[in-house]
Amino acid sequence: MYAPVRRQGGRIDSCGSRRLFRRLAQVKSQLRPTPTLVEHNLRFDAYEKEMEKNIVDSDGDLALVSPYDPQTDAPSKNVSEKEDQPKSDDEKETIAQLEDREILVSSKILSNASPVFQAMLDGRFLEGVQLSDSKASPGQGPYRLLLPDDDFTAMLLLCRILHFKFKGIPEQPRSNLLLALAGVCDKYQCTQTLKYCGALWLRNWTSSLPDTEEASIENISRLLIFAYVADLPHEFCEVAWTLVLYHEGPIAGPHTQAIQLIDHPLLPNDIGRYLDLKRLQFCEAYHRAITAPWTTWQWTSLTSGCYRASHAISEYTLTLRGAGIVPYELDLRDHKLSDLLKAATNLPLLAVRSCTSRYNCGCSGDRTDSLTRDLRALARNIPKHKTWFGCLDCFKSGDTSNKDGKCRIEHGEITNLLA
């Protein structure tokens, strides 16, 4: 305790005052002056120029540092380019020397949206302690959190979503970026943030896929992974149906084009086999529709002198061959379902000709309707059952959710596709 200052004859005690003033000078020298608004802005501008920065929150206290990969938001490869094509030495060197970029964000918003960030930044880990120290020293700039395994473009898009910075959010991000975003959201356990913007993105994608060059199996596979991670049942159904339509042959077969679905860390391993089981039922129905005039129709005139049946069968066979439907394997390994449905829709009505026999024969009992009737009916009915092909809840539950009435999208079973 300092001795009180005593007045002696109207004068201050010099001994006590000297000790007090010396102590005040020491305390004042240890105190940092509070920066003015101008000084703070100058320091922030200098920090911003120090490294290329993307400001999501101008008042943010956290700078996320991630490697920037230009390929994340680059156009997809052409269909003719191979997925497993080895990278050149220059490409490998470029990947190894990715540029680090920063994103200025609010640590509070990230903690509220992600339990992983909340645990990391709450103070019990080193990152949290360093963040608290940075907040206590505002003149040093925001705390830099290194995220070397996270893609910069995906992190920037996620931060813009969390901070409601919709001006910088694209209406239809490229499939590369959506796949990277799915990985980031899965890692930080914030996939629920993709519910609304993710649904909008996938609807924009699926509405444009049939009419653009972007309808590659590579793009569709990425969209399927994104829809699964974001848990979007309607959009997953649309993308799965598109994959079944445009994939040539079995999806999980040795000649699959959906290479991204094989052993992907964000997907169960059996998704290809599951879609193939659905596809196989379509193949069987298509086979029955094709062979019906040969196997199930009763042709009395085939064993008589009337050529009515033989003319009908030969014309039907030539029509199928001209449409590219036959020849085929039972699993339609060399065909796309979209091409087969289009070919079946465009088949003409093949009516049975009149009897050519001069004598009475039993051909009057033969069927007279169109031989292409079953195929045309199949082409009409299959698209009505696309929800059955790609139900996300059925896939996750092993086809038990529909029986329990727990599917989020209504669908039945494909009982009679030829009706």
| pLDDT tens track for 365-391 | 677 788 898 899 889 888 888 888 889
What integer pLDDT is reported at residue 408 of this predicted model?
92
What integer pLDDT is reported at residue 16 of this predicted model?
58
What integer pLDDT is reported at residue 131 of this predicted model?
92
Q: How far apart are the two ends of the chain, measured CA to CA in Å?
A: 100
Give me the sheet containing 99-105, strands edge to edge: 53-55, 99-105, 62-68, 143-146
Q: Which string of DSSP letters, residue by residue, matches 254-320?
A: TT-S-GGGTT-TTS-TTHHHHHHHHHHHHHHHHHHHHHHHHHTS--GGGGSS--HHHHHHHHHHHHH
Q: Which of 413, 338, 347, 405 is nearest to 377 (CA)?
A: 347
Cis peptide before 33 (omega within 30 of 0): no
Do 240 and 224 form a contact (C-beta atoms < 8 A)? yes
Q: Which of 120, 110, 101, 230 is nearest to 163 (CA)?
A: 110
Write the CA distances from 203 to 1, 144, 239, 392, 419, integer angstroms.
Answer: 74, 36, 9, 16, 31
What is the chain's percent helix, strand, coil content, to nearest 5? 55, 5, 40
Structure tokens that stand for 249 in this block: 């042959």
Which 3 state secondary structure label does DSSP give 114? coil
- Express each pLDDT in 246-293 by its tens digit: 999 999 888 899 999 988 999 998 899 999 988 888 888 899 889 988
The partner residues of 62 in beta bridges, in order of sequence, read: 105, 143
Strand-strand pairing, 62-68 and 143-146: parallel
Ranges in the chain, pLDDT < 50 = 1-12, 27, 32, 37-40, 42-44, 46-52, 78-86, 92, 94, 419
